[in-house]
């Protein structure tokens, strides 16, 4: 009798959507993904359509307006799906989550996956408007980089949940374009989240107001402090500090 | 041992080994989360503990602190050779409502953090800047260097 190590995606309502765009906002560097995802949910008035379930997850639920929510859940608005988490991803569950999500996305014939996150930069304090770098998994996603004049991340190491998701998207040939903004490593960074949302507006043709996000920046930084602290500890256990390393291979 | 018994034995050992690995991973994951489970707030003093980052370099220690809702003139920094204390008053109190079971509303109006430094520093040569809500303090180390000749 083996331990149950699978992750299931439970659809609260049937998710019937044609070639959706799938955004991912997980607690990561600077909480960039989670902050931008939360802002997208509020701005687009997205609704919960699924949640993730697994024995690998800690026994945690969240309460909002007295209603119970699973911490890992998927929202929808028209043909945009968004996966966010309010708790750090347990290291033990990273690969299982990635497999479950990417297999589900393949079934839904997803047109584009966009993980949203940050790249740690030591001089972030001197950067007024963070740049956004991209990582593409195939030619379809890579074409978007040129179409929208985006910047590529050319060399480096990625660690954590997004590294796993990108690898699985390559394996399943799902177009995936990660958006990574220059960010504080260990402080919540709404400024970096705003930069990511500007790129989303370009690529998806949405019109999400980043001004509203920047006005709430100080409030967001206060309210996400504890999550940032826990996330930083979890990321360290996943080898996140290797993103600061120079890649070993050279050409 | 018969072949059938050997297969069952191998499966059993594989299960035990898998269980041990998962137990270790879960145990260390739980341990690491305990490192940050003490509250980052003090309701009696209405104070929050700011997020702080400490980087040690050969010649200096850099401490940064995230201080939203604070103006530069409301920050107080005190340092000794081995410790650093940061106090800051918020522009206006921050209130958390409909939260928790004991305190449904709580507000904070300041930050406080005491830090034990990893090496001795010279507080008189310290420098601090405050930009975008991030306080950055540079603390030169007290180092007595001696040149060593190579034969």
Chain A within 8 Å of B53 (Cβ-Cβ)? yes
In 3D, which of B101, B76, B73 has the Cα closest to residue B87? B76
Q: How confident is the model at residue A190 (pLDDT cuts 50, 70, 90)?
A: very high
- B31 CB near a chain A CB, below 8 Å? no
What mean pLDDT, rounded, does chain B reach? 81
**Residue A212 lies in domain:** 8-230
**pLDDT, mean over chain A:** 91
Look at residue A153 in the predicted model and tell me its pLDDT: 92
Q: Is A219–B68 a contact, with Cβ atoms under 8 angstroms apart?
A: yes
CB contact under 8 Å between A225 and B134, yes or no, is: no
Q: Residue A200's pLDDT is what?
A: 97
Query: pLDDT: is B136 or B47 the higher one?
Result: B136
Angle ∠(A21,A25,A30) on CA atoms, nearest 5: 145
Give the C-alpha separation, A129 to A191, whole Å. Answer: 7
3-state SS, chain B, equals CCHHHHHHHHHHHHHHHHHHHHHHHHHHHHHHHHCCCCCCEECCCCEECCEEEEEECCCEEEEEEECCCEEEEEEEEEECCCEEEEEEEEEEEEEEECCCCCCCEEEEEEEEEEEECCCCECHHHCEEEEECCEEEEEEEECCCCCCCCCC
Let me know if residue A242 belongs to a domain.
no
Tell me which chain A residues have a C-beta less than 8 angstroms from the C-beta of B50. 225
pLDDT at B140: 96
**Per the structure block, which two tokens stand in for A178?**
């990660």
Closest chain A residue by Cα to residue B34:
A230
Residue A153 placed within a domain: yes
Contact B136 A125 (CB under 8 A): yes
How many angstroms separate the CA of residue A56 from the nearest CA in chain B? 9
Among A171-175, A212-216, B1-5, where is mean pLDDT lowest? B1-5
- Say whether A99 sits in a helix, a strand or coil: helix
Quick: pLDDT tens for A135-168. 999 999 999 999 999 999 988 888 889 999 999 9
Query: B29 at the A interface (CB within 8 A)?
Result: yes
Going by pLDDT thresholds of 50, 70 and 90, the confidence category of residue A133 is very high
pLDDT at A240 over 80: no
Find, among A219, A199, A195, A197, the residue nearest to A208 by Cα: A197
Tell me the C-alpha distance between A184 and B135, whole Å: 13
Confidence at A43, pLDDT banded by 50, 70, 90: very high
What's chain B's length in residues? 151
Between B19 and A88, where is the model more confident? Answer: A88
As a whole number, mean pLDDT of residues B102-110 equals 77
pLDDT band at B25 (very low <50, low <70, confident <90, very high): low
Phi/psi at B62 (5° precision): -110, 125
CA end-to-end span of chain B, whole Å?
65
The pLDDT of A110-122, averaged and rounded, is: 95
Using alpha carbons, select from B76, B100, B99 the residue that is nearest to residue B88.
Answer: B76
Smallest CA–CA distance, residue A166 to chain B, in Å, is: 23
Residue B47 has which token pair?
């104070």
Looking at the complex, report in whole angstroms how far the Cα of residue B20 sits from the nearest Cα belonging to chain A.
11
pLDDT at position B105 is 76
Query: Is this structure's pTM higher than 0.90?
Result: no
Q: Is the pLDDT of residue A184 over 70?
A: yes
Q: What pLDDT score was predicted for residue B37? A: 46
The tokens describing B57, both together, are 């370099």
Q: Residue A89 sits in a domain of what CATH number? A: 3.40.50.10900
The reply to whether ipTM tops 0.90 is no
Using CB atoms, which residue from B18, B25, B40 is nearest to A2?
A: B18
Please count the other Cβ atoms lying within 10 Å of the Cβ belonging to residue A247: 9
Q: Is A161 a member of any domain?
A: yes
pLDDT at residue A2 above 50?
Answer: no
pLDDT of residue A1: 41
Q: Is the residue at A208 inside a domain?
A: yes
Instruction: Test B132 with A234 for CB contact under 8 angstroms.
Output: no
Percentage of chain A exceeding pLDDT 90: 80
Q: What average pLDDT does this structure show over A38-44?
A: 96
Beta pairing partners, B106:
B96
Which pLDDT tens digit goes with each residue over B33-81?
A: 444 445 577 666 778 999 999 999 999 999 999 999 999 999 999 999 9
Average pLDDT over every residue of A18-35: 95
Tell me whether residue A102 is in a domain.
Answer: yes
Gap between the Cα atoms of A186 and A228, Å rounded: 7
What is the distance in angstroms between the Cα of A152 and the nearest Cα belonging to chain B? 27
CB-based burial of residue A9 (10 Å sphere; 0-12 exposed, 13-18 middle, 19+ buried)? buried
Give the pair of three-digit tokens for residue B61: 């220690």
| Rounded-to-integer distance, Cα A66 and Cα A54, Å | 23
In a domain, A104, yes or no: yes
Asked, for residue A251, whether it belongs to a domain, the answer is no
Report the range of poorest mean pLDDT among A22-26, A28-32, B55-59, B140-144: B140-144
Residues written for chain A: 251
Asked if B88 and B70 count as a contact pair (C-beta separation under 8 A), the reply is yes
Q: Is residue A246 part of a domain?
A: no
Q: What is the pLDDT of residue A3?
A: 46
Tokens 């690998």 locate to: A56
A25/chain B closest Cα distance in angstroms:
21
Which residue in B19, B28, B94 is closest to A3 by CB distance?
Answer: B19
Instruction: Please state the domain count of chain A.
Output: 1
Check if A92 contacts B (Cβ < 8 Å): yes
Query: What chain A residue is nearest to B39 in terms of C-alpha separation?
Result: A226
β-bridge pairing A132-136 and A151-152: parallel
Nearest chain A residue to B66 by CA distance is A187
């Amino acid at each position: 009798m083996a331990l149950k190590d699978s992750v299931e995606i439970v659809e609260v309502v049937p998710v019937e959507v044609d070639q959706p765009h799938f955004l991912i906002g997980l607690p990561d560097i600077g909480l960039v993904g989670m902050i931008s995802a939360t802002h997208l949910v509020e701005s687009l008035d997205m609704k919960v359509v699924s949640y993730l379930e697994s024995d690998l997850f800690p026994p945690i639920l969240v309460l909002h307006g007295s209603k119970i929510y699973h911490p890992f859940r998927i929202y929808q608005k028209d043909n945009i799906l968004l996966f966010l988490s309010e708790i750090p991803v347990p290291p033990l569950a990273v690969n299982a989550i990635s497999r479950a999500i990417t297999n589900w996305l393949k079934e839904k014939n997803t047109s584009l996956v966009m993980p949203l996150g940050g790249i740690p930069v030591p001089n972030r304090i001197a950067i007024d408007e963070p740049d956004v770098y991209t990582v593409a998994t195939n030619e379809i996603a890579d074409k978007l980089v040129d179409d929208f004049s985006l910047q590529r991340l050319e060399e480096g190491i990625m660690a954590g949940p997004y590294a796993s998701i990108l690898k699985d998207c390559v394996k399943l040939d799902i177009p995936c374009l990660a958006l990574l903004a220059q960010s504080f490593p260990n402080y919540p960074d709404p400024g970096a989240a705003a930069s990511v949302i500007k790129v989303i507006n370009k690529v998806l043709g949405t019109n999400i107001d980043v001004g509203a996000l920047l006005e709430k920046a100080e409030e967001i930084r206060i309210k996400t402090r504890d999550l940032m602290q826990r996330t930083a500890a979890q990321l360290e256990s996943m080898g996140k500090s290797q993103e600061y390393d120079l890649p070993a291979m050279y050409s | 041992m018969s072949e059938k018994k050997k297969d069952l034995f191998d499966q059993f050992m594989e299960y035990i080994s898998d269980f041990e690995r998962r137990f270790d991973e879960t145990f260390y994951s739980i341990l690491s989360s305990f490192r940050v489970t003490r509250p980052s707030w003090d309701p009696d003093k209405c104070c929050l503990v700011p997020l702080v980052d400490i980087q040690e370099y050969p010649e200096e220690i850099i401490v940064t602190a995230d201080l939203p809702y604070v103006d530069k003139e409301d920050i107080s920094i005190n340092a000794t050779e081995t410790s650093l204390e940061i106090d800051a008053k918020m522009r206006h109190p921050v209130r958390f409502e409909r939260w928790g079971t004991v305190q449904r509303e709580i507000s904070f109006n300041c930050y406080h953090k005491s830090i034990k430094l990893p090496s001795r520093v010279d507080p008189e040569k310290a420098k601090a800047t405050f930009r975008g809500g991030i306080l950055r303090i540079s603390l030169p180390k007290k180092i007595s260097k001696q040149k060593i000749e190579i034969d």
